[in-house]
């Protein structure tokens, strides 16, 4: 009797989706919301099967907003818990699932197998990683440091953690403490340890959640007392930074069987040690530049951001490892409790937990990997690809190609590579292996792939870098001052990351030109975190304008010189608290030599007209690169993306410069933690007085000819017509006396508003995505609605208080204090290169967020010292009503060209969970409403 064969359910169950593979269909399901997936399960028997896969619900759950997670026994239950949206086909969406015949899927079966496989057969106790006991520091430095891995026993013998770091004992002491979870999604997930241990005991995930917490020392400080850094790793050059400034460097790691870390190279090409206290880990490692089979490296050619596509640890060992020939297999070992493995800089590694494990690991920078770390943060992209993918990153035309095209490592080794070697690399010696060139992980070799024309100050910063641009500059400066014995090494690294040799040579030429004594050794390095190279030389400060390219630099210095001129002619007390300008000019590189031309901001220097094309100059003005020319330039930049801003900066060998009097004392950033409250309060009063004097200075008038020139550029009339094209606004605009200066100001604000969504998306975390989606609803239709509109004696509305001189960048490194007897007294405000015309409220933003850290008492002290009101803000909706000043300030934060929102949400974790911009406004700026 013939057997009855079940019909294939797939064609009818998927309809037109039948042409897609199961993997693609599952990928599409990952893009849906949890309620939609629950409903789609009702569509057909095949959709029911696909929509009830636990890996799908795990992804859906982890892609929700950042929160503390509590596992409910299955990922579907966990995801739907609290949503109150049930599958319409099933009153209980989490009951025992239905089963159907006639449907088979190799993709789902392999995933199911990974979820339930046992790892007893993965033990590899011997391995081929060298094992050492009682390894001396001298032997480690000579044979292993930055050279090859080693597995060392005995380093944790005296640790308390060796006895107490077990799931049972940690649960007793830290069960209620939340720890961070490592997972593939972008959201930050945490779990209480008791909930995580419960999850480990219940789960059957192919890639289980993994505690990988870099903040465990803050969450549970006593854990730091349970271990110490082994004697083999005494140095970490990041330790010159404050704890909240340095990149993550130490992690508590807890994970169940099947969990682990997929293939990666450690951040910033740092080295690492990892000590296992409980369980067993299997390690696989490849030397630098040897991309593991199944891994793809992507390097963004705009900002050098590195992204790695890799299978999970378990999937790699199951699906890719068996394909490798013996000679292409990685270096391997099984790490046992009490053993410490050392991973050198740049080495690829992958870890699989064979059972429940607990470990601690730290990354560090020392003399042997310092230059590599600096290289990783240098501008450009080609060197980053070569650092991770070796010569696989190169092709004939010099572009990055790092996909392995499903070839195994043996085939790649034998396949002939065509590598273009630049002429300046011809003197490098390459060891040849058959027809392929042997990759050399040597700093002098890797430096050859740097884009030497790119400038650190003008390049997009990669989000994959472990610290920001300002933090990098601050780190290298603190190393230079704090570790004088390492200055030869620090100089080499800084030349890679900052082009320090270039700017130092330029600074020394400027000193010679202006008869300034050449800098001492500690003065040869650019100071602080500023956006331009700045040097303290004797009694002078030498600043070279580099940021955002030549045009932006000319406007920065031109406007600063115009402001200084107006300030010096006034009776304002502000001039007693602004450093004197001693010299200013243009420096340029010609035929390999630096040449200088003095420039006071008036007229257009001949070198500019000869070597550049700049069209934002206002004719018939005393300062052609002054404030109104700068406002026109601001308008043009306001509509650009971040990439366009960098691109328009261009590359130039011409730079403006200024030399000012050096202030004796310290910046507030260096004194914040030691000043008593009374002196910080005095600083708030001082800033209020200086802001008052700044905001009442006369503004350079915009004459008719200049405005006609600007209006042509701005197309003001057309934009205004578009903005007020309907209803009461159309009638309102006819009754507003809008001066030319105000028209320019409002036009720029509205231009900044146009691209706000894409800008916030580019900045990303920690700005909540759900707020980015609502940002255009929150912002006003037109910024004119929000500004001091008052009726004059004729009943016509006029604009007030929207065009004052504003500093825009008064932060803790731009305020100076002098020591008088035993106390510190505020003395100077400096760095006026970001000077602009605008709403005085703009100056409150950096002061309140950066200097005051949101302290309302200090803000009140400043406002009382300021004395003059900032002015009430009105909007029009069936008549005049007062608009909250907190709303206006929040709007300024949103459209700000700097990532102000990143600072706001970075300071407050609670704000990342709010549902509206109004909540953020009230929390950050609500107190302003009490004073206006």
Antiparallel, parallel or unpaired: β 880-883 and 797-799: unpaired
Which residue is associated with the tokens 């159309």?
A: 730
Structure token pair of residue 885:
């000043």
Please say if the pLDDT value at position 94 is more than 80. no
If one compares 396 and 295, the residue with the highest pLDDT of the two is: 295
pLDDT at 870: 59
Share of the chain above pLDDT 90, in %: 55
pLDDT tens digits for 626-659? 998 888 888 877 766 666 666 666 678 899 999 9
Q: Which residues pair with 660 in a beta bridge?
A: 541, 581
C-alpha span between 44 and 614 (Å, rounded): 64
The DSSP code for 793 is T
Which phi and psi angles does 661 have, rounded to 5°? -70, 135
C-alpha to C-alpha distance for 528 and 226, rounded to whole angstroms? 36
At residue 87, does pLDDT exceed 80? no
Listed in sequence order, the residues at least 6 apart from 808 whose beta carbon sits closer than 8 Å to its beta carbon are 834, 835, 836, 838, 842, 843, 846
Q: How far apart are CA 656 and CA 584, in angstroms?
A: 8
Mean of pLDDT values over 345-349? 97
- Among the residue ranges 95-109, 250-264, 693-707, the one predicted with the least confidence is 693-707
CB atoms within 10 A of CB 699: 15
All residues at 6 or more sequence positions from 72 whose CB lies less than 8 Å from its CB, including other chains: 78, 81
Least confident residue range of 365-379, 393-407, 496-510: 393-407
The per-residue pLDDT for 752 is 85
Please state, in angstroms and rounded to a whole number, the distance separating the CA atoms of residues 630 and 836: 8
Q: Which residues sit opposite 818 in a β-bridge?
A: 825
CA distance 183 to 11: 35
Give dist(CA 605, CA 620) in Å, integer.
15
Determine the distance from the C-alpha atom of residue 256 to the mean position of all C-alpha atoms in its chain, rounded to a whole number.
Answer: 31
Considering only CA atoms, give the Rg of the chain: 31
Question: Would you state the pLDDT for residue 435?
Answer: 33
* pLDDT at 483 > cutoff 50: yes
- The span from the CA of 485 to the CA of 46, in Å, is 69
More confident residue, 284 or 644: 284
pLDDT given at position 763? 81
- pLDDT of res. 63: 80
| Cβ–Cβ under 8 Å, residues 777 and 812 | no
pLDDT exceeds 70 at position 275 = yes
Instruction: Assign 804 to helix, strand or coil.
Output: strand
Cβ pair 257, 119 in contact under 8 A:
yes
| Residue with the larger pLDDT of the pair 64 and 422 | 64
pLDDT bracket for residue 519 (50, 70, 90):
very high
Q: What is the pTM of this model?
A: 0.85
**What is d(CA 358, CA 167) in angstroms, rounded to the nearest whole number?**
8
Per-residue model confidence (pLDDT) at position 708: 62
**Considering Cα of 42, then 47, then 50, then 51, what sign does the dihedral take?**
negative
Which of the two residues, 462 and 719, has the higher pLDDT score? 462
Report helix angle 106-116 to 54-62, nearest 10.
Answer: 80
Give the range among 60-64, 568-572, 896-900 with minimum mean pLDDT.
60-64
Sorted by sequence, the CB contacts under 8 Å of residue 144 that are 6+ apart come out as 130, 150, 342, 344
Quickly state the pLDDT bin for 440 (edges 50, 70, 90): confident
Q: Return the pLDDT at 650.
A: 65
Express each pLDDT in 9-45 by its tens digit.
889 889 989 999 999 999 999 999 999 999 999 999 9
Total Cβ atoms within 10 A of residue 735: 13
Phi-psi region of 3 (alpha: psi -120 to 50; beta: other; left: phi over 0): beta
Residue 352, strand partner residues: 260, 282
* CA separation for the pair 714, 748 (Å, rounded): 9
For residue 145, CA distances in Å to 271, 483, 575 come to 9, 21, 55
Residues in Cβ contact with 688 at an 8 Å cutoff, skipping those fewer than 6 apart: 861, 862, 863, 864, 865, 866, 867
Residue 408 has pLDDT above 80, yes or no: no
Three-state SS at 803: coil
Q: How far is CA 302 from CA 76, 298, 382, in A?
A: 40, 12, 11
Instruction: Look up tokens 């629950």; give the residue.
Output: 38
pLDDT of residue 488: 96
User: Is it the case that residue 433 has pLDDT exceeding 60?
Assistant: no
Enumerate residues 6+ apart whose C-beta is below 8 A from 879: none
The pLDDT-based confidence of 731 (bands split at 50, 70, 90) is: very low
E strand or H helix at 79, and its extent? Answer: helix 75-80
| Cβ atoms 806, 835 nearer than 8 A | yes
Q: Is the pLDDT of residue 342 over 90?
A: yes
Pick from 665, 689, 662, 690: nearest CA to 675: 665
DSSP string of 854-888? T-HHHHHHHHHHH-S----EEEESSSEEEEPHHHH
Lowest mean per-residue pLDDT among 76-85, 155-164, 752-761, 804-813: 76-85
Question: Which residue has better confidence, 263 or 673?
Answer: 263
Name residues whose C-beta falls within 8 Å of residue 874's C-beta, 6 or more positions apart in sequence. Answer: 786, 787, 788, 789, 790, 880, 881, 882, 883
- In a 3-state reduction of DSSP, which class is residue 139? helix
């Amino acid at each position: 009797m013939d057997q009855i064969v079940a019909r294939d359910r797939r064609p009818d169950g998927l309809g037109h989706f039948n042409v897609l593979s199961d993997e693609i269909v599952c990928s599409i399901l990952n893009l849906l919301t949890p309620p939609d997936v629950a409903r789609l399960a009702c569509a057909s028997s095949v959709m029911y099967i696909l929509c009830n896969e636990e890996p799908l619900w795990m992804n859906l759950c982890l892609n929700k907003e950042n929160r503390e997670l509590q596992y409910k026994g299955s990922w579907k239950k966990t995801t739907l818990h609290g949503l109150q949206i049930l599958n319409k086909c099933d009153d209980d969406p989490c009951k025992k699932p239905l089963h159907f015949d006639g449907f088979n899927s190799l993709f789902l079966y392999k995933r199911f197998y990974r979820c339930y496989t046992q790892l007893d057969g993965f033990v590899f106790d011997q391995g081929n990683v060298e094992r050492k006991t009682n390894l001396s520091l001298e032997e480690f430095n000579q044979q292993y440091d930055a050279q090859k891995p080693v597995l060392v026993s005995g380093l944790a013998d005296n640790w308390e953690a060796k006895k107490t770091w077990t799931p049972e004992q940690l649960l007793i002491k830290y069960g209620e403490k939340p720890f961070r979870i490592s997972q593939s999604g972008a959201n930050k997930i945490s779990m209480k340890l008791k909930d995580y241990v419960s999850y480990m005991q219940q789960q059957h995930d192919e890639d289980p959640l993994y505690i990988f917490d870099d903040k465990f020392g803050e969450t549970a400080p006593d854990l730091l007392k349970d271990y110490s850094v082994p004697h083999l790793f005494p140095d970490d050059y990041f330790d010159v930074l404050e704890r909240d400034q340095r990149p993550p460097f130490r992690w508590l790691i807890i994970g169940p069987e099947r969990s682990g870390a997929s293939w990666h190279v450690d951040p910033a090409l740092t080295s690492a040690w990892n000590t296992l206290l409980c369980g067993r880990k299997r390690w696989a490692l490849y030397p630098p530049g040897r991309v593991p089979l199944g891994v793809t490296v992507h390097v963004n050619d705009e900002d050098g951001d590195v992204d790695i596509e890799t299978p999970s640890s378990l999937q790699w060992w199951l699906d890719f490892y068996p394909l490798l020939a013996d000679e292409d297999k990685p270096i391997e070992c099984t790490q046992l409790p009490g053993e410490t493995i050392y991973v050198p800089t740049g080495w690829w590694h992958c870890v699989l937990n064979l059972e429940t494990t607990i470990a601690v690991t730290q990354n560090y920078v020392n003399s042997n990997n310092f230059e590599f770390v600096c290289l990783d943060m240098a501008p450009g992209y080609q060197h980053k690809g070569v650092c991770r993918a070796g010569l696989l990153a190169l092709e004939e035309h010099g572009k990055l190609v790092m996909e392995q095209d499903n070839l195994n490592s043996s085939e790649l080794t034998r396949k002939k590579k065509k590598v273009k070697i630049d002429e300046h690399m011809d003197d490098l010696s390459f060891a040849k292996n058959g027809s392929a060139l042997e990759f050399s992980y040597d700093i002098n070799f890797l430096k050859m792939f740097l884009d030497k024309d790119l400038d650190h100050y003008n390049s997009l910063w990669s989000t994959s870098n472990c610290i920001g641009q300002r933090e990098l500059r601050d780190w290298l400066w603190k190393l230079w001052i704090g570790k004088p014995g390492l200055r030869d090494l620090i100089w080499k690294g800084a030349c890679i990351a900052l082009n320090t040799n270039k700017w130092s040579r330029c600074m020394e030429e400027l000193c010679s030109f202006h008869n300034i004594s050449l800098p001492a050794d500690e003065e040869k390095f650019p100071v602080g975190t500023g956006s331009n190279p700045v040097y303290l030389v004797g009694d002078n400060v030498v600043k070279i304008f580099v940021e955002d390219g030549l045009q932006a630099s000319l406007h920065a210095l031109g406007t600063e010189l115009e402001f200084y001129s107006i300030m010096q002619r006034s009776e304002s007390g502000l001039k007693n608290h602004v450093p004197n300008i001693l010299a200013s000019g243009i420096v340029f590189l010609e035929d390999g030599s630096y040449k200088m031309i003095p420039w006071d901001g008036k007229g257009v220097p001949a070198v500019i007209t000869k070597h550049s094309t700049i069209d934002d100059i206002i004719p018939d003005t005393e300062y052609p690169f002054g404030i109104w020319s700068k406002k026109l330039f601001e308008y043009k930049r306001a509509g650009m993306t971040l990439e366009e801003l960098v691109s328009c900066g261009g590359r130039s060998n011409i730079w403006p410069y200024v030399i000012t009097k050096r202030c004796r004392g310290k910046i507030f950033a260096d004194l914040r933690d030691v000043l008593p409250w009374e002196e910080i309060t005095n600083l708030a009063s001082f800033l209020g007085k200086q802001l008052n004097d700044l905001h009442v200075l006369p503004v350079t008038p915009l004459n008719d000819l200049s405005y006609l020139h600007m209006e042509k550029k701005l197309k003001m009339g057309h934009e205004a017509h578009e903005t007020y094209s309907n209803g009461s606004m159309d009638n309102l605009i006819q009754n507003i006396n809008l001066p030319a200066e105000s028209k320019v100001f409002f036009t720029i604000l509205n231009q900044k508003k146009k691209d706000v969504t894409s800008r916030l998306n580019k900045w990303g975390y920690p700005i909540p995505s759900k707020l980015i989606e609502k940002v255009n609803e929150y912002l006003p239709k037109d910024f004119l609605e929000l500004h001091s509109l008052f009726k004059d004696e004729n009943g016509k509305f006029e604009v007030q208080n929207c065009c004052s001189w504003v500093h825009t960048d008064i932060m803790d490194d731009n305020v100076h204090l002098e020591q008088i007897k035993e106390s510190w007294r505020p003395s100077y405000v400096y760095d006026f290169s970001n000077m602009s015309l605008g709403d005085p409220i703009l100056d409150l933003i950096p002061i309140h967020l950066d200097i005051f850290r949101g302290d309302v008492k200090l803000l009140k002290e400043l406002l009382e010292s300021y004395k003059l009101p900032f002015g009430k803000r009105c909007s029009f909706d069936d008549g005049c009503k007062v608009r909250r000043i907190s709303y206006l300030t929040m709007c300024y934060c949103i459209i700000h060209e700097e990532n102000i929102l990143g600072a706001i949400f970075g300071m407050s974790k609670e704000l990342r969970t709010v549902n509206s911009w109004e909540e953020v406004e009230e929390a950050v700026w609500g107190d302003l409403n009490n004073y206006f």
